[in-house]
Amino acid sequence: MSEAAAAEVHGHGAVADQYEPSLTPGNSGKLGMWTFLAGDAMTFGAGIAAYGALRYQNVNWPDPADWLGISLTAVMTFILICSSVTMVEALSGITHGNIAKMQRFLGLTVLGGIAFLGCQAYEWHHLIWGEHLSIKTSLFSATFFILTGFHGLHVTGGVIYLGTLLMHSFQRAYTVADAKLIEIAGLYWHFVDLVWILIFTFVYLI
């Protein structure tokens, strides 16, 4: 069988056979972001796995409810979920050519991130200065500050990332062709939300 015939059998043209089809057609940056997030997920995952391994059957581990306020973190969780919705609405806006909607919802997403960070700053302030808890106090406090701190850094990075995109959209008059920029940024933001869902359960609720 000739090469061309073989290509036809496999349902691809000769050119398609030379190159592996992209996992994210038309948006190679999205594949880059997914790859970055996979690496980031391993870092978070290693942190959560270490947390679980240190805590499992450890009789000295305190009840998180004695130290951590669940009401505040439930609000923080709700804020992040809302910000994920505003993020997809921003993507929906630019995908349909509604740039004003995109800017409005991107702005709301940034505000959600800032509100989350405000709540986290309040929580840390209370724990450090009110409860005199530090990263050196115990395994409980060390894992708490490392996990929530690393996540907080990601939220901070996300606020800067999305805020920069928002300003850029005003300066450069975004069009529907820029939807992929918003989609890539959205992937990062949803990942931050996803990680918080796990941290909320493992660190605060269990």
Shortest distance (Å) from residue 175 CB to another protein: 8
Shortest distance (Å) from residue 190 CB to another protein: 4
- Our finding on whether 28 is near another protein (CB under 8 A) is no
- Our finding on whether 1 is near another protein (CB under 8 A) is no
Could you write out the DSSP letters of every residue in 31-51? Answer: HHHHHHHHHHHHHHHHHHHHH
- Our finding on whether 198 is near another protein (CB under 8 A) is yes
Tell me the Cα Rg of the chain. Answer: 22
- Our finding on whether 161 is near another protein (CB under 8 A) is no
71 touches 126 (CB < 8 A): no
Question: Smaller CB distance to another protein: residue 4 or 19?
Answer: 19
Q: Cβ–Cβ contacts within 10 Å for residue 66, how many? A: 8
Q: Please select the residue that binds another protein; options are 8, 29, 95, 150, rule is CB under 8 A.
A: 95
CA contacts within 13 A on the Cβ side of 205: 10
Single-letter residue type at 134: S
Q: Please select the residue that binds another protein; options are 4, 23, 121, 160, rule is CB under 8 A.
A: 23
106 touches 166 (CB < 8 A): yes
As given in the structure block, the two tokens for residue 71 are 């009401």
Question: Smaller CB distance to another protein: residue 5 or 177?
Answer: 177
Q: Please select the residue that binds another protein; options are 8, 137, 146, 150, rule is CB under 8 A.
A: 137
- Our finding on whether 162 is near another protein (CB under 8 A) is no
- Our finding on whether 16 is near another protein (CB under 8 A) is no
Q: Please select the residue that binds another protein; options are 6, 14, 16, 81, rule is CB under 8 A.
A: 81
* Residues sharing a CB contact under 8 Å with residue 6, sequence separation 6 or more, in sequence order: none
CA-to-CA distance for 92 and 112, rounded, in angstroms? 18
| Angle of helix 28-55 versus helix 139-172 axis, rounded to 10 | 160
- Our finding on whether 201 is near another protein (CB under 8 A) is yes
Q: C-alpha distances in angstroms, 78 versus 71, 72, 73, 81, 199?
A: 11, 10, 8, 5, 14
Catalog residues that contact another protein under the rule CB under 8 A: 23-27, 34-35, 38-39, 41-42, 45-46, 48-50, 52-54, 56-62, 67, 70, 74, 77-78, 81-82, 84-85, 87-89, 91-92, 95, 132-134, 136-141, 175-177, 179-180, 183, 186-187, 190-191, 193-194, 197-198, 200-202, 205-206
